[in-house]
């Protein structure tokens, strides 16, 4: 990938914080991009594919494993945040409520948030929760990029249907596969642009 588009070498990527409540937000001035989506949609796999480090964020065949906000630095200025997934039916209700609260609190008030990537499974249709989260992100004037993941599971003719089906969620979407690498460079381009926009907004506010 072109250095100007994605200037963050895999070797500099590192995990730096895991928090269970917003009051524990790390003392960091890095601009953050949130990675959110249903449990098992491939958030952690996609984060790893973007930064180019296998196993940096823990992935799992068992849904509902991420119970915290996990922060990964790309550099001294930028970070990606792996969020707890939603929609995992087997999680005890009380716990699901706590996680949902953490997710919504962070999206509403996370102080370094520059934008968000919503990861959806290409084979599914948008759910009420996704529509609600997309609205919340727009209301905060944050940019939302939709990553329509697991496109390796679709036949070629199903791809345009997947794109159309999800168009209600965001203006910008990319069909991708964290597993096979399709669409990852396009997503990097979108994120690189988003982080640079974030940086300019920050400068203008000073």
Ligand X SMILES: Nc1nc2c(ncn2[C@@H]2O[C@H](COP(=O)(O)OP(=O)(O)O)[C@@H](O)[C@H]2O)c(=O)[nH]1
Binding residues vs ligand X (CB under 6 A)? 37, 39-45, 59-61, 63, 66, 85, 149-150, 152-153, 177-179
Taking the least distance from each CB to ligand X, the nearer of 150 and 166 is 150
Q: How far is the CB of 3 from Mg ion (least distance, A)?
A: 28
Nearest Cα to 146, choosing from 125, 183, 120, 179?
Answer: 120
Taking the least distance from each CB to ligand X, the nearer of 152 and 200 is 152
Structure-block tokens of residue 6: 């994605």
Q: Judging by beta carbons within 10 Å of its beta carbon (0-12, 13-18, 19+), is residue 206 exposed, middle or buried? A: exposed
Identify the three-state secondary structure at position 204.
helix
Q: Tell me the C-alpha distance between 3 and 77, whole Å.
A: 16
Taking the least distance from each CB to ligand X, the nearer of 112 and 149 is 149
Q: How far is the CB of 65 from ligand X (least distance, A)?
A: 7
Taking the least distance from each CB to ligand X, the nearer of 191 and 198 is 191
* Residue number, nearest CB to ligand X: 42
Q: How far is the CB of 151 from ligand X (least distance, A)?
A: 7
Q: How far is the CB of 138 from Mg ion (least distance, A)?
A: 24
Nearest Cα to 51, choosing from 43, 41, 63, 60?
Answer: 43
What's the residue count for the chain?
206
Q: Tell me the C-alpha distance between 29 and 76, whole Å.
A: 8
Which partner, ligand X, Mg ion, none, binds residue 41 by CB below 5 to 8 Å per kind?
ligand X
């Amino acid at each position: 990938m072109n250095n100007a588009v994605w200037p963050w070498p895999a070797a500099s990527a590192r995990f730096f914080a895991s928090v269970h409540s917003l009051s524990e937000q790390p003392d960091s001035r890095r601009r953050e991009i949130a990675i959110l989506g249903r449990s098992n949609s491939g958030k952690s796999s996609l984060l790893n594919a973007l930064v180019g480090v296998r196993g940096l964020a823990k992935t799992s065949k068992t849904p509902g494993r991420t119970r915290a906000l996990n922060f990964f630095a790309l550099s001294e200025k930028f970070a990606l945040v792996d969020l707890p997934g939603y929609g995992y039916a087997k999680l005890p209700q009380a716990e699901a409520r706590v996680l949902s609260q953490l997710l919504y609190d962070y999206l509403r008030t996370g102080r370094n948030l520059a934008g968000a990537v919503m990861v959806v499974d290409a084979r599914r249709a948008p759910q009420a929760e996704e529509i609600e989260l997309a609205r919340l992100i727009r209301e905060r004037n944050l940019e939302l990029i939709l990553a329509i993941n697991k496109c390796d599971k679709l036949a070629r003719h199903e791809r345009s249907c997947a794109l159309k089906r999800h168009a209600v969620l965001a203006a910008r979407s990319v069909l991708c596969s964290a597993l096979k690498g399709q669409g990852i460079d396009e997503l990097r381009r979108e994120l690189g642009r988003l982080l640079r926009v974030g940086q300019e907004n920050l400068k203008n506010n000073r």
